[in-house]
A and B are shown apart, each in its own frame.
Chain A
Amino acid sequence: MASPRKYYTVTAVVVFVVVSLIIFSLNFKSPEKISFFRRVVLEAVVPLECAVDSVFSSVVGAWERYVLLVGLESKNRELEAEIVSLARDVSDYREISLDCARLRKLMNMKNDFNFPTVAARVVGRNKSSVFKTVLINKGTADGIKAGFPVMGTGGVAGRIMETSRNASKVLLLVDYNSNIDVFIQRNRCQGVLRGCGSSGGELRYVQRSEEVKPGDVVVSSGLAGVFPRGLLIGTVAVVEKGEAGLFQRIMVHPATDIARLEEVLVILRGKEDNG
């Protein structure tokens, strides 16, 4: 005859397995709802990660500043030359921007970029994981909600997935679950950018007849309502037109260096603000 202790163990195992299955299935039913316990874990982990990250960042920073200075002079010259070239570009773009602003005013168009932003620091990242997410140190207390776009230094980095009061989880654009409606800036050809892990993203549903070249700039279309129109996403890296099929295979390299994401800007704009 089995002892009560054995029954107790079997019951505990069954309870844990059933609860795990319930959590797994409930989240698929209503993924937008974030439970109290998930919020508590997010809140608790951010101060810990901040502390550990600041200690390690300072150590790594010191190493990079004082030990890895080899080749800095030549790099400096290169950068100075690049600054001269970029300053010329900025001047041109400023003129274009002013023209654009005048034309917008004339046409009474809404400026898509006129949204408030919140700067946040990346405190937790797991670059080597299959799931591509980062934790940032701002949450609902700063007006951040799930679905808000997140910008890195070069362009779009991802979107807010979950938030607690002082922390948020960002789904990076390279994650397999990330889908962004985009178009090629040069010819306005539209597609959906799906994350492909470390290799960047794949631009899907672009017909074979469309002319797309490596180096073409990819920007957000604003159609899905999450990202404002015209945000820089990346550049086309590879274009492959297979023997058969309706669509071509286009790989996109993100404009933001996802692996070195340290600070981000969260655009305070959700689906409800889409206009």
Chain B
Amino acid sequence: MIYYLLLPVFSLLLLTIQVTVLDILSFGKTGLEISLILVVYAGFYLSTIRGIALSFVLGFSLDCITGVVPGFFVLSYVLIFLISKGVSLRVYARGMVFTMGFIFVCVLFEKSLIILIYRGLYGINVFYDILNIALLQAVAAGVFAPAFFGLFHRLEGLLNVWEARSPDRL
């Protein structure tokens, strides 16, 4: 239960860091979508219910903070979580290279959804405009994914210890 109570607070903190700190550090050249890396991590290592709740809250919060197409991040994060979960059930050896490659593909998938939505709903072709951004973001996310996976492992461990020590197991 502690997990679900902390979820909104943790999501907002993570997105604040993503939107503010990382944007300053990257000088606006390319964004590092930690939230998407976390969604894939949830697909690989968390239980289905915990993971889908995390993906939903992260997507909804990101929609509120930066989204222009309402509901886009909720839908895309839930889809990416389900794909990651499906892959995690089939693939047992998930090494560093696999993680990096999978994150790379997931970022490109998310950007493809944006292109499709703009094309389908607004009739705007943004393929060439966002191609560079998409590739840069996919590479950045892929390169940093193993480091963030390590960080999320530690956080998950801390949370598990906290939940185990909680006297009434909230």
Q: Which residues of A contact B (CB under 8 A)?
A: 8-9, 12-13, 16-17, 19-21, 23-28, 31, 37-38, 41-42, 44-45, 48-49, 52-53, 56, 60, 124-133, 135, 161-162, 169, 171, 175-177, 194, 196-199, 259
- Whether the pair B65, A135 counts as a contact (CB closer than 8 A) is yes
Query: How many A-B contacts are there with CB distance less than 8 Å?
Result: 141
Specify which chain A residues have a CB less than 8 angstroms from the CB of B64 in the assembled complex.
37-38, 41-42, 45, 162, 169
- Closest residue of chain B to A57 (Cβ to Cβ) is B24
- Whether the pair A176, B129 counts as a contact (CB closer than 8 A) is yes
- Is B146 located at the chain interface by the 8 A CB criterion? no
B70: contacting residue among A27, A60, A259, CB under 8 A: A27
Per DSSP, chain B at the interface is: helix
Query: 19 more A-B contacts (CB under 8 A) besides A52-B17, A175-B68?
Result: A8-B49, A13-B82, A20-B56, A20-B59, A24-B70, A24-B71, A24-B75, A42-B65, A56-B21, A124-B66, A126-B66, A127-B23, A128-B30, A128-B31, A162-B64, A176-B68, A176-B118, A197-B130, A259-B28
B66: contacting residue among A23, A56, A131, CB under 8 A: A131
- Is B16 located at the chain interface by the 8 A CB criterion? yes
Cβ proximity bits B110-149 to A, threshold 8 Å, 1 near / 0 not: 0100100010011010100110011001000000000000
Name the distance in Å between B142's Cβ and chain A's nearest Cβ: 16
Name the distance in Å between A160's Cβ and chain B's nearest Cβ: 13
- Whether the pair B49, A12 counts as a contact (CB closer than 8 A) is yes
Interface size class of B (residues with CB under 8 A): 35 or more
